Amino acid sequence: MSEEIGALVEQIAKVEREEQATVPETLNEQLEHLDAEQQALLLEALPLEGRLQQWERIPEEERSDVLVELGADTRLTILKAQPFNALESLFSGFSPEDLIELSDDLPDEFIEIALRQMDQKQRQYFEDSNQFTEKQIGRYADHDLLILPQNAKVYDALRLLRRHIPECTDAIFLTDRAGRYAGTVPVQSTLSTPGHIPLTELTDEEAKPLAAETSLEDSVDLIEKSEYVLLPIVSEKGMLIGRMTLKDGLQILREEHEAEMMAQAGLSEDEDLFSPVLRSSVRRATWLGINLITAFLASWAIGLFEGTLQQVVALAVLMPIVASMGGIAGSQTLTLIIRGIALGQISRGNLGPLLIKELSVGGLNGVLWAGAIGLIASWWFADPMIGVVIGSAIAINILAAACSGVCIPVILDKLKIDPALSGSVILTTVTDVVGFVTFLGLGTLLLL
């Protein structure tokens, strides 16, 4: 399904390569059929010049929607290339919800332009949402709700339902005169109840509104557990400020997954395929720098044994094996524990047994691979003592890795640092240093 974007990129590249003045009719037709999300994917996949040309091909009335779907870096490259009056008409197409999505990474001057195009009520919506942080569900509240006053009757509900049901709706919300949330009425129950019955008699007592301060992650959990396809979002003072739907939940999950994947490689989630070179370089340099420190630590550990290395060069040759086995075994334990922490399953109550279990697994694999690698190394360097040294070092390093794999994420979590981000760097540093020191230390003791 998504493959077609790649095919379009190829056709557009061909048009440019052959310097054709106009886009062939067949390609044009395909481009016209793209929805806003696909247009955004296409723009992100095009190098800067091609991207701006493709932008011009998008009908003006669709451009605002495409802009909302774009990754932040791509969006900025396009906005910066627009003349001022184009911006004004572009920004007049934004709903307050769209503008909130954009505002996280849009310079203030652009926000100002957009706000000037809105009416009083829309500006109010924007200000209301803007009170919440990027991690709170209140920020992303959308306003497509079925709302009735607390004293409404079933026939009021039916009249409302007949007029229009917004996408992703299976409940009507009641409010008091001040606009405070006063209950959830399932659509189903209004259909099977006589018209004169007050809606308050149909409210679902089990239904709980979503506090606007709830984190995005918890919001997804809550809507997944609820029996509805949407939840009302309620401010601290009890005001009904909007809704969250299951579809929002899907989008939040996707974005969190993507951000996590990027962050694990030290990338910004805004980074697109053709983010400006300088911008990308600066961002990535930070992560390289952090990892450099850990690499220097490993070097320092090796440096402690310069004398040994000079006499037994085989040790230098085998070093990467000790480090690699420790790193891999450790990251297996680490991944398991990080998932456990994310699911709330780890506590002092099971930390002891967990450590024992991981040390047992490490012990078994340590013995297995220590034996295998010891034999290979003995044969390679025709010296059984080399085999003993590397075998012992690997067994010890795998055990140390199991221990670190359990403890590092637990400690990071206690310190409120996300173990999914920094756990792996710290773990590798530990397994490198422990591995090199054990291996070269044993070498010094047994081989000199």
List binders of a second copy among 143-182 (CB under 8 A): 158, 161-165, 167-170
Q: Assess 201 for contact with a second copy (CB under 8 A).
A: no
Give the span between the Cα atoms of 291 and 264, in whole angstroms. Answer: 12
Among 23, 115, 229, 385, binds a second copy (CB under 8 A): 229
Query: By the 8 A CB rule, do 67 and 90 touch?
Result: yes
Q: Per-residue string for binding with a second copy, 251-270, x by CB under 8 A?
A: x-xx--xx--xx-xxxx---
Cα 372 versus chain centre, distance: 40
Could you count the other beta carbons within 10 Å of the beta carbon of residue 68?
Answer: 19
CB of 30 to a second copy, least distance (A): 14
DSSP string, 179-235: -BEEEEEEHHHHHTS-TTSBGGGG--TT--PEETT-BHHHHHHHHHHSSSSEEEEE-
Could you count the other beta carbons within 10 Å of the beta carbon of residue 11?
Answer: 15
CB of 22 to a second copy, least distance (A): 18
Give the span between the Cα atoms of 210 and 244, in whole angstroms. Answer: 8
CB of 169 to a second copy, least distance (A): 7
Query: By the 8 A CB rule, do 216 and 230 touch?
Result: no
Q: Output DSSP code: residue 239.
A: B
CB of 218 to a second copy, least distance (A): 6
Q: Assess 417 for contact with a second copy (CB under 8 A).
A: no
Among 53, 95, 200, 335, binds a second copy (CB under 8 A): 335
Q: Assess 53 for contact with a second copy (CB under 8 A).
A: no
Q: Assess 7 for contact with a second copy (CB under 8 A).
A: yes
**In terms of C-beta density within 10 A (0-12 exposed, 13-18 middle, 19 or more buried), how is residue 394 classed?**
buried
What are the C-alpha distances in Å from 20 to residues 12, 13, 268, 322, 327? 10, 11, 36, 58, 53
Q: Assess 2 for contact with a second copy (CB under 8 A).
A: yes
Give the span between the Cα atoms of 116 and 299, in whole angstroms. Answer: 58
First to last CA, the chain: 63
Nearest to 184 by CA among 240, 129, 224, 136: 240
CB of 311 to a second copy, least distance (A): 9
CB of 219 to a second copy, least distance (A): 11
Site for a second copy in 86-115 (CB under 8 A): none
Number of residues this chain uses to bind a second copy (CB under 8 A): 124
Q: Per-residue string for binding with a second copy, 357-396, x by CB under 8 A?
A: x--xx--xx--xx--xx--x--------------------
Of 14 and 116, CB closest to a second copy: 14
Nearest to 171 by CA among 237, 235, 246: 246
Q: Assess 448 for contact with a second copy (CB under 8 A).
A: no
Among 336, 407, 417, 421, binds a second copy (CB under 8 A): 336
Among the listed ranges 23-31, 86-94, 138-146, 284-292, the one in contact with a second copy (CB under 8 A) is 284-292
Q: Output DSSP code: residue 245.
A: E
Q: Assess 303 for contact with a second copy (CB under 8 A).
A: yes
Among the listed ranges 22-30, 121-129, 173-181, 224-232, the one in contact with a second copy (CB under 8 A) is 224-232
Among 20, 149, 201, 292, binds a second copy (CB under 8 A): 292
Of 115 and 246, CB closest to a second copy: 246
Query: By the 8 A CB rule, do 439 and 339 touch?
Result: no
Of 289 and 384, CB closest to a second copy: 289
CB of 262 to a second copy, least distance (A): 6
Q: Assess 415 for contact with a second copy (CB under 8 A).
A: no
